[in-house]
Amino acid sequence: MVINYRNQAGQLVNEVLIFNGGLVVSGWGTYGPEPGSAGDAGA
């Protein structure tokens, strides 16, 4: 499952969760550029 949202600072966050039998067994998170930074596309 992938959860995509913006955190309280407005930064794009993606979380990947791997399940086994209804339990989370692994997970990762990635963060986009901080709002207002050079890499921010202004989405």
With bands split at pLDDT 50, 70 and 90, how would you rate the model's confidence at 43? low
Q: What pLDDT was estimated at residue 40?
A: 63
Q: What pLDDT was estimated at residue 41?
A: 63
Judge contact between 11 and 32, C-beta under 8 A: yes
Distance CA 31, CA 15 (A): 9
Q: What pLDDT was estimated at residue 33?
A: 85
pTM reported for the whole predicted model: 0.65
Per-residue pLDDT reduced to its tens digit, 4-36: 999 998 999 999 999 999 999 999 999 998 888
- CA 23-24-25 angle, 5° bins: 105
Residue with tokens 């086994």: 20
Q: What pLDDT was estimated at residue 36?
A: 80
